[in-house]
Amino acid sequence: MEYFARLVRRINGVGVALGAAFLVGMMVLIVANIIYRLAGHVITGSYELSELMIVVTVAFALGYAGFQKSHVAVGILVSRLPQRWQAILEAFTSFLSMGTWVVIAWASSLIFFERWLTEESEMLLIPFLPFRIVLLFGLILIALVYLIYMVMALRKAALK
């Protein structure tokens, strides 16, 4: 399991770097569009490009947030429980989180296979296929993160 966790973390690191690059590119595009508007012009398709770039950024930010445990957690009651029960509750919440992301990934895959080569952006005619693949990959990645946390919490509960 340790090898699998390291592999998912490495893949996530590459994804975060890619997402950060897209975020910087989006910021440059928006600033350039603002400056260009001052001259009375608009960069054609900048809104569409921003929409597509945010998909990559968000898809990989999900896994990063999962690994950093930067989601909302309320520990007022749980912190008063014994260590074993804390681990069991952590495993349960990780299972619920994983299940939620699996359902979202499944629904996204249905949309992906239904519309797979038919959709493209209106103005620039950029196909949505690569962006749907990245989104689906990011959703699977966050589900794997919670699978890792669930297994680790179950191990912790078994040892206590």
Start-to-end CA distance of the chain, whole Å, equals 19
Q: What share of the chain is helix, strand, coil (3-state, %, to 5)?
A: 80, 0, 20
pLDDT tens track for 42-97: 888 888 999 999 999 999 998 888 888 776 666 777 778 888 888 898 899 999 99
pTM for this entry: 0.85
Q: Who contacts 52 (Cβ-Cβ below 8 Å, separation ≥6)?
A: 121, 126, 128, 131
Confidence of residue 150 (pLDDT cuts 50, 70, 90): very high
Comparing CA positions, the residue from 66, 60, 70 lying closest to residue 21 is: 60
Mean pLDDT over all residues of the chain? 88
CA 153 to chain centre: 22
Number of neighbours of residue 50 by Cβ within 10 angstroms: 15
Domain boundaries, the chain: 2-159
Confidence of residue 23 (pLDDT cuts 50, 70, 90): very high
Q: Who contacts 105 (Cβ-Cβ below 8 Å, separation ≥6)?
A: 136, 139, 140, 143
